[in-house]
Structure 1
Amino acid sequence: MENQTLSRRNFLKSSAVTGTVFSLGFYWPNDAKSAKIIQATEADNFGVEMNSWVHIDTSGKVTIFDHRAEMGQGSYQAVPQIVAEELEVNLSEINVVFAPGDSKKYGNQVTGGSSTVRGSYKNLLKLSATAREMLIQAAATQWGVPKMECYAEGGHVMHKPSGKRKHYGELVEAASKLVAPKDVVLKKRSDYKLIGKPLRRLDTPLKTNGTAVFGLDKHIPGMLYAAVERNPRLRGKVKSFDDTGARKIVGVKNVFKVKMGVFNTYREGVAVVADSTWAAIQGKKALKVEWDDSGFEHLDTEEIYKRQAEALQTQEGLLFKTQGEPSEIIAKAAKKIDVIYETPYQYHAAMEPLNCIAHYQDDKLEIWGPIQAPEWVQDYISKEMSIPREKVIVNMTFLGGGFGRKAFMDYPHEAAVISKEIKAPVQVVWTREDDATQGPFRPGITYRCEGVISNGEIDAFKVRMAGQNNDHWRGGKKDVANRSTSEGFLKPYMDSIKNLAIMDVPFETPIPTMWWRSVYASTNGFAYESFLDELALEAGKDPLDFRRAYLKEERLQKLIDKIQEVSGWKDRKKGDGYGVAITECFASTVAQVVKVSRAPAGGVKIDKVWAVMDCGWYVNPDTIKAQIEGSVVMALGAATIHQVKFKDGMAVDNNFSTYQMPRITDIPPIEIYIMDNDADAGGVGEPGLPPFAPALTNAVFDLTGKRIRTLPFSLQAV
C-alpha cells in the first residue's frame, strides 16, 4: 500500500484507475462552518483544495481514502462500510488507500479519543449518497427517463419499468460533468444493508497473508538503519561516549550524539547508523556512554505515592467543579467516609515497538511509519527543524497497536534529525526495552474521596486527585485544574448530587507522562466507581439501584435495565461475588458486571464479565465487540498484573518477562451487548476499559469483604 500526495495525477497513478475518473470530496471554505461537497473538476476550476474521498473510474473500480490511522481499532473497515452503504456498492469491491497527512484536505486526522467514526460519519454518509444520486441522474438522463424511476444497487443503476441497467463505470464521465446536489436524502437505519451488520474486516486478509505494510515492513531505496542509546532519565544529558566497540561491528556506518523533542523538553542519546537493523542494535550494545543526570530528582515509586498522599492531606487543590456545600457538610458530619485510592503508572505495550523512516532533503522532509497524528508531527517538526509545514510529508502505514503512544512526535522527530545528519533516508527502530522504559507513561494517580450519607442518600461528595497533568508537558497553565479531572464520571451524577466538589491537586515529577487508552477515565473510573460502591454500602442500598437513583436520563435507565437483565443481577445468590461499574468517555457509556468466586487453589478467580455499551449510531457490531474484549483484557492486565515501577528515576521493568501481559488462560468469558437507539455516534475503541477495574474490585468486596483500593492487586493473594 503506497501513500502519495493526492493530486489528480498521483491518484490516477497510485490507484491504477482507467480513463476518466469521477471524484467527489470536501473542501472547507474560509468563511464556512461546515464542509462543502465538491467535484474534482470544480476544485480545479475554483483553485481550491479538495480532500479526495471517493473515486470511481471507468471500470467501475471504487477507491476511497481512509483519513485516519488503522491500528487495530477498525477505521480501515468502518470508513468503507459507511461509504459502501450510501454509495450502493459491494464492500468487497472497494479499494482502501491511507490518506497522507494533510489537515487542509482531510480535517483532523488524529486517531485518538475514539473519534474516527463519530467525527466523520455524517459527512461520509452525505458524500456517498451525493455520489449515488449523481450517478443515478447521469443514467436517467442517458435513458431519457425520470430520475425517480431509477435506483442504485450493487454498483449499478437500474431503471424499474424497463429493467435497464448501467454499471457505475459506464456513468463516470457523465456524472463527472454534473453539479453536486446541495441536499440528498439519507437512508433510514431500518433500510441499511451494510451498516449495523457484523461484516468481515477488509484488513484481515492483508494481515494474515503478509501483504499489510506496517511501519517495520516499509522500505525505501538507499535506506540505512539506526538504533539509539537514549538516556534512561528524560532530563539527563550525554556527558561523553566511547564508540570504539560500536565501530568494530560489521555494517556500522556512523555514531553520533542525537537529541529529540519530548513535549517541551528534550531527550539525549547516541545514534548508531548501520546497513542493517541487526548491526545498528549490536553497535548500540557496544557503546559506552557516561550520562550527566544532575539538576533533577531521581524518584522511586514509593516516594511518588508518598508525596501524592501527603499532598491530598494538606492541599485542597484547584477547583474543577463545585456545587452546594460539600466541604462544610463533611467537616461537620459525625460520620463520614474518607478513603484513598491509588492507580499505577502504565506502559502502552503495543505489539509493534516504535519505528519511523525519515528522508531529509534540501527542500523537504518525508516520513513513513505507524503514526496516529500526522498533523501534530507536521506542526512539531516544522517548528523544530525550520521546515515549511507543507514540506513535511507524512505517510501512514498500518500500526501494530498504538493506545495513544503513537500519537506523539518524539520518534518521527528523532528519525528526521538522524536523516538530516547522515544525508540519507533512515529507519529508526526501537527495541522492546527502549519502548518499555523510555515513556511517556500513563500517569500514576492517588485519589482522596470523602462523602457523607444521610437518610440513605448522598449528602456530600468530594474527590481530589493528585497526579501528573499531561497538559503541563505541552505548556498548559499550571494554575488551572486538569481538564480531565472528572473524565469517566457520568455527568448526570453532577446534576443529581446536590453537594459535590471535584478538585485537582497539582503534582509533578521529571517522569514523562501522556495519554493511554481511555486517558484519565482509566484511572478516574476506578476511584469514582469504587467510591460509589462504598457510599451504596453505607446507605444500605443495592449498588446498582443506588446508581440508578442518580442516573435519571432515559438512555442510562435503559442501559441499567439491560445490564441488570443480562447479568442476572437481581437473581444473584448469597455467596456469589458480583460487582458493577458504569463509566462514560468519548460520548459512549459502558456498564460492566463482573462475577468472581473462590479459586480452588486459593485466591479469587473471575467467572464472567458482562458488558453493555451505548455508543449511539454504530457501524459494525463485531468491531465493537472486539474493542470491548480488547479493552477488558487491557484493563485486566493494568488492574491485576503489571505496572511501571521506578527506581532512582528509571523504569525498572524493560520487557514482557517482568512487565507481564495477561495470558489467554487469564481471560474470562466476556458477554457483550450493544444498545440500539437513534443517538449520535459515540466512541468505541476506548470506553470499554474504565469500568472493568472497579467492577472487578467491587465484586471482590462482595465476595470477600475485602476492599481493594490500590492497583494492581493479586487475584491469588486476595
Structure 2
Amino acid sequence: METNAISRRNFLRVSGLAGTALCLGFYFPANAKNEQLISATGAEHGFDFNAWMRIDTNGKVTLTDHRAEMGQGSFQSIPQIIAEELEVDLKDISVVFAQGNPDKFGSQITGGSSTIRGSYKKLLKLSATAREMLITAAANKWNVPAAECYAESGHVIHRPSGKKLNYGDLVTDASKLSPPADIKLKEISQYKLIRKPLQRLDTPMKTNGEAIFGLDKKLPGMLYASVERNPRLRGKLKSFDASAAMKVPGVKNVFKIQMMVFNTTRDGVVVIANSTWAAMQGRKALKVDWDESGFEHVNTADIYKQHEELLQKEEGLSFKKQGDPDDILAKSANKIDVIYQTPYQAHAAMEPLNCVAHYQNDKIEIWGPIQAPDWVQGDISSKFKMPKEKVIVNMTFLGGGFGRKAFLDYTHEAVAISKEIGGPVQVIWSREDDVKQGPYRAGISYRAQGAIENGEISAVKFKMAGQNIDHWNTDKRGTANNSTTEGFLKPYYDSIKNISFADVPYEMPLPNMWWRSVYASTNGFGYESFINELAVLGGQDQLDFRRKYLRDERCQRLIDRMEEVSGWKSRKKNEGFGVAITECFDSTVGQIVKVSRREDGKVKIDKVWAVMDCGWYVNPDIIKAQVEGSVVMALGAATIHEITFKDGLVEQNNFYDYLMPRMSDIPPVEVHIMENTADAGGVGEPGLPPFAPALTDAIFDLTGKRIRKLPFKLSEV
C-alpha cells in the first residue's frame, strides 16, 4: 500500500469484527480524520476499516491480501512477513483476497513488482504492533512487567514462571489497548522465517484442486458466453446470421456486443448457452460480415521499415540529455551507428482470459482472474453509471497475468453481456482469442550511436521508435515516452558525460500495453547490447567495461559476484560468454550467459548465471523461481516466438504457431541473491531484461556474429 510512513495517526486497531477479535490495519489520510480511531467497528467515525490482519479467539490469523496472486508468491511471502514479527506459526495463518476498493486498500494493481516493495515496512510494523499488544495484555492478566514476557508460536510466555497464554485467549483484552507508540523491529540477523526458503502455502491447494481460479467460479442460474470479436481493432460489424448457431443444442441467444479497448470499441457477436461447449460450438456456426474499410491494414515488415525511416530522419522528442553528444559524434572517427529491433509479443498466460459478471439494477458483481480490482471497480462504475460502492470486484487466483489481466476490456465486456441477458454469465476466451486480440507488447526499434576516444566513452545517443502505451491510456501525445530510459542503469549518467535519449513518436492502430518488465524488456536489449558493442569497439572486456562506468558500491559488488560465480576470468577456448546488467522496479539484475557449439555445429546455451540485487527480501526460493521463469520467458521472446501482422491481421493462433520454449530448450539457471539492507525492490519482472543482450553477446563472443534483431533462431546462428 502506497501510503505515508506508518505512525500512530495512520495506524488503526479495531475490535468487534466477525465476533471478538483483534483486527489491525491502516487507514489513509485522504479519507480519515486526523486522529487515532478506537471503536467497535469504526462505523460511527464514517470510516470503512480495511482489517488487514485479524486474530481470532481460536488464535488463528487471517490476512487480507489486497493484491492478486498470479504465481508470484504473495500468498507465501506476505504470511512469512507477518509470521516473523507476530511470532506465529505459518500453519496458523490463512489468506483471503480483498475486494476491489482503493479507499480501503490504496493501490491494488499487481504490477511493477510492487506487492512486497510497497508494503513490507508497514506489514512488519503492523505485525510487531500486534505482538506487543498481546504481550501487554498477557502481562496485565498476570500482573507482571511486560518486559518479563515474550511471544513465540502464537503464545505469550512469562519467562520467570513459564506460564503461557494462547493469542486467542488474549485478543479481547488486547483489543482494548492503545497501540504502542514505538515499536522496535527485528534485525535481519534475528530473522527466523524471513530470508528462509520455506515451502509455499498455496502449493497444496493449487495441486489438489482446492484453489479457486476464474474458470472455477459458478453462480446459480449462470449462463456461458463465447464472443466472435472483430479481428481488427477499428473494424465494425456489418451483419451476422445466427440461424445455424441457434440450432446448436444449448444455445439460448445471439446478439451484438461492444467492449471498450482503450479509447475505442471492438464489435463482437455473443453466443449465450447453457455450457461453455455449446457456446463455443454455436459461435463456430455463426456467419459474420465485418466492415474492415477506412483504415490501414498493416504488415510487420512495413512497421519496422517505418521505424528505420523515422530513426534516420527524425530527432524525436528529447527525454534526457546531458552534455553535447551530437557535437562529439559529428567529429569522432571511432564510432558506431546501429539499429536494434524487438518484436511484438503476446502475453500467452497459461490461463486464458475469463470473467463472471452479474449485473443487477442496484449493484454489479464480478469474479475472475483480475490484476487490478480497484481499476476494474472504477472503470465499471464509470461506464455503467453505478455508484462505486455498488460495484463489487472479487479476485480469484490467476493462472499467470504478465500485465494482460490488469486490462479492463474483458471485465467490461462481461458486465455488458450480463446486463443484456439480465443474469449472471461467465465469458470465456479461447487461446485463439487471447493470441489474436491482444493487446501486445509493442515491437520497438532503437538507433544507437556512440563514440570511443582514448578507450573511454565520449558520447552516446539513443533514439527509440515504437508504440507508446501512454497514447492509449491518456492524452500525452507530444511528450516523450515516459519509459524511454527504463532498464538503463542510473549510475551510467554519472560516468558518461555526453548522453541523450529521445523518443520518436510512432502511431499504429494495434492495441499495445504492459508486458512483463514493460519497456525494460525491449530497452534492455537495445541499450545493453550497445554497451557490449562499445566495449568491443574500445578493445575492452565487457564486464570490466561496465565496472569502469558503474561506479556505485552496489553495482561494483554485483559485478564482483557475477565474475566470481560464472568464472568469467577463466573462460576457455570455444566457449562464448556474454553479459548484461539492467535495472527496473528498484532491482538490478546482472546475467552472464555461456554458449558453445554442439556436435552438429549449432549453438547451444550451456548455462545462465543471474545475480539479483533486490535489497531486502523475503523468500529466496520464490526469488529463484521468479528469475528462472523470467529467463524462460525472455528466451522465448528472443529466440522462439513473436506476433506478426499480415494485411492488418495477426498471423498467430495458438501454441502450435506461437511456440513456447520446451523443457529441452531451457539451460541450467543459477540464481544468486545479493545480501544487503537496502529497501526492497521488485522480483517478478527484473530478471527478464538482461537475458537477451547477454545471450547475443555470448553468441558474438563465440561466433563473431552480431545479432541486432529479435527473435532469431539458435539453429540458424
Q: CA deviation at 1:296?
A: 1.3
The aligned counterpart of 2:524 is 525
Check the 8 A contact 1:448/1:465 in 2, yes or no.
Answer: yes
Gaps of 5+ in 2: 1-13
Amino acid at match of 1:408: F
The aligned counterpart of 1:321 is 320
Distance 2:36 2:341 in 1: 50
Check the 8 A contact 1:26/1:37 in 2, yes or no.
Answer: no
Deviation per CA, 1:333-356: give whole Å up to 9, x if none. Answer: 223200010000000010000000
Distance 1:640 1:363 in 2: 51
Look up the SS of the partner of 2:133 in the other structure: helix
Look up the SS of the partner of 1:327 in the other structure: helix
Matches within 5 A, 1:20-35: 20-30=20-30
The aligned counterpart of 1:680 is 679
Distance 1:223 1:627 in 2: 36
Q: CA deviation at 1:575?
A: 2.4
The aligned counterpart of 2:346 is 347
Q: CA deviation at 1:45?
A: 4.7
Matches within 5 A, 1:24-63: 24-30=24-30, 41=40, 43-63=42-62
Check the 8 A contact 2:15/2:40 in 1, yes or no.
Answer: no
Check the 8 A contact 1:39/1:180 in 2, yes or no.
Answer: no
Look up the SS of the partner of 2:198 in the other structure: coil
Matches within 5 A, 1:153-192: 153-192=152-191
Deviation per CA, 1:525-575: give whole Å up to 9, x if none. Answer: 000010001000011110000011110110110000000000000111232
Flag the 1:419–1:375 CA change in 2: closer, same or farther, 3 A: same
Distance 1:321 1:247 in 2: 59
Look up the SS of the partner of 1:216 in the other structure: helix
Q: CA deviation at 1:36?
A: 8.7
Distance 2:519 2:243 in 1: 46
Check the 8 A contact 1:39/1:176 in 2, yes or no.
Answer: no
Flag the 1:180–1:11 CA change in 2: closer, same or farther, 3 A: closer
Look up the SS of the partner of 1:583 in the other structure: strand
Distance 2:505 2:91 in 1: 52
Q: CA deviation at 1:46?
A: 2.8
Check the 8 A contact 2:70/2:401 in 1, yes or no.
Answer: yes
Q: CA deviation at 1:476?
A: 3.1
Q: CA deviation at 1:10?
A: 12
Matches within 5 A, 1:324-335: 324-335=323-334
Check the 8 A contact 1:345/1:644 in 2, yes or no.
Answer: yes
Look up the SS of the partner of 1:24 in the other structure: strand
For normalisation by structure 1, the TM-score amounts to 0.97
Look up the SS of the partner of 1:256 in the other structure: strand
The aligned counterpart of 2:563 is 564
The aligned counterpart of 1:387 is 386
Pair 1:69-2:74 in alignment: no
The aligned counterpart of 1:660 is 659
Flag the 1:228–1:193 CA change in 2: closer, same or farther, 3 A: same
Distance 1:510 1:600 in 2: 46
Gaps of 5+ in 1: 1-7, 13-18
Distance 1:9 1:101 in 2: 23
Look up the SS of the partner of 1:109 in the other structure: coil
RMSD: 1.6
Pair 1:645-2:680 in alignment: no
Check the 8 A contact 2:22/2:172 in 1, yes or no.
Answer: yes
Distance 2:17 2:239 in 1: 49
Distance 1:664 1:292 in 2: 43
Distance 1:227 1:342 in 2: 36
Identity of aligned residues (%): 68
Amino acid at match of 1:392: V
Q: CA deviation at 1:47?
A: 3.1
Check the 8 A contact 2:15/2:176 in 1, yes or no.
Answer: no
Q: CA deviation at 1:607?
A: 0.3
Check the 8 A contact 1:28/1:36 in 2, yes or no.
Answer: no
Check the 8 A contact 1:23/1:39 in 2, yes or no.
Answer: no
The aligned counterpart of 1:143 is 142
The aligned counterpart of 1:5 is none
The aligned counterpart of 2:3 is none
Distance 1:431 1:11 in 2: 42
Distance 2:377 2:181 in 1: 34
Matches within 5 A, 1:396-545: 396-545=395-544
Distance 2:475 2:611 in 1: 36
Check the 8 A contact 1:644/1:651 in 2, yes or no.
Answer: yes
Distance 1:242 1:335 in 2: 66
Look up the SS of the partner of 1:523 in the other structure: helix
The aligned counterpart of 1:16 is none
The aligned counterpart of 1:636 is 635
Look up the SS of the partner of 1:270 in the other structure: strand
Flag the 1:27–1:36 CA change in 2: closer, same or farther, 3 A: farther
The aligned counterpart of 1:704 is 703
Q: CA deviation at 1:38?
A: 5.9
The aligned counterpart of 2:4 is none
Distance 2:64 2:114 in 1: 17
Flag the 1:367–1:137 CA change in 2: closer, same or farther, 3 A: same
Q: CA deviation at 1:197?
A: 0.5
Pair 1:230-2:229 in alignment: yes
Flag the 1:38–1:133 CA change in 2: closer, same or farther, 3 A: farther
Distance 1:387 1:495 in 2: 51
